[in-house]
Amino acid sequence: MTRLDWAEIQLGYRFQNSALLQQALTHRSASKDNNERLEFLGDAFLNFAIARRLYDLRPLDAEGDLSRLRAYLVRGTMLAELARGLGLDQQLIVGPGELRAGGARRETVLANGLEALIGGILLDGGTAAADGCIDRLFATRLAALPVADTLKDPKTRLQEWLQGRGCGLPEYTVESAVGEAHKQTFTVVCSEPNGGRSSRGRGTSRRKAEQDAAQQLLDSLIGAHD
């Protein structure tokens, strides 16, 4: 199966300019004529297209809720999941160095490749073609959107829970950071204000450790008030 045939079957669109498809599938490790510029274009169009659909689908949602839903739909893990479903990892062109690092199996490479394909379709067939591709890709996800409040990160939900009960803001303290600079594991303590309950969280960045600690403290507080 040629790449043109693959794109038509999986994306519902046949490229008129095969060189544009080739560029969309080429990682920067493989060529100077790569997909980074198409990724930039596809990312911008995808964000607009999803925002427009959410605006129509959720007429009562506030701006913050719409923003959380859009971030949920266009996040890297979601795009990589969609890309794997298309078999994009088998079509991407990557250089030897990137191949040794995981190549087309890496989440960021897959997500960027999918955005580049959307950008390529936009240039090759116009907005209607790109819109049709996005509809095809996201139909199932758009039909099963979660409640926006459930998409708030743990730190935000903990803060809102405490403030809703007249408490102050939680406090975060880095207890340790172990490992080499680019491979550290952080341990963070999250505490209620005024010496209340506390919890520990761990993660590969300070932010992830704080989110983990916040989730654990929130679970503990909610359990205590059930």
pLDDT digits (tens, 9 = 90+) for 23-80: 999 999 999 999 999 999 999 999 999 999 999 999 999 998 999 899 999 999 999 9
Considering the domain architecture, whether residues 122 and 19 belong to the same structural domain is answered as: yes
Q: Is 171 a catalytic residue?
A: no
Considering the domain architecture, whether residues 126 and 17 belong to the same structural domain is answered as: yes
Q: How far is CA 50 from the centre of its chain?
A: 13
Q: Which of 99, 129, 146 corresponds to the end of one domain?
A: 146
Considering the domain architecture, whether residues 76 and 109 belong to the same structural domain is answered as: yes
Nearest residue to 124 via CA among 51, 38, 43: 38
pLDDT tens by residue, 194-215: 777 899 999 988 999 999 999 8
Q: pTM for the full model?
A: 0.75
What is the total count of domains within the chain? 2
Positive or negative: CA dihedral 44, 50, 52, 55: negative
Q: Is 8 a catalytic residue?
A: no
What is the pLDDT confidence band of residue 224, given thresholds at 50, 70 and 90? low
Q: Which of 146, 178, 199 corresponds to the end of one domain?
A: 146
Please report, for the domain that includes residue 179, its CATH number: 3.30.160.20
Q: Annotated catalytic residue: which of 98, 115, 124, 131? A: 115
Considering the domain architecture, whether residues 81 and 167 belong to the same structural domain is answered as: no
**E strand residue ranges, 85-197:** 171-178, 185-191
The per-residue pLDDT for 188 is 96
Provide the b/e sequence for 200-226 (b: ≥16 CB within 10 Å).
ebebeeeeebbbbbbbbbbeebeeeee
Considering the domain architecture, whether residues 101 and 128 belong to the same structural domain is answered as: yes
Q: Annotated catalytic residue: which of 43, 131, 210, 212? A: 43
Domain membership of residue 186 as a residue range: 154-225
Q: By the 8 A CB rule, do 14 and 91 touch?
A: no
pLDDT tens by residue, 155-189: 988 988 898 888 889 999 999 999 887 778 999 99
Please report, for the domain that includes residue 73, its CATH number: 1.10.1520.10
The per-residue pLDDT for 226 is 55
Fill in the DSSP letter of residue 25.
T
| Residues present in the chain in total | 226
Considering the domain architecture, whether residues 109 and 158 belong to the same structural domain is answered as: no
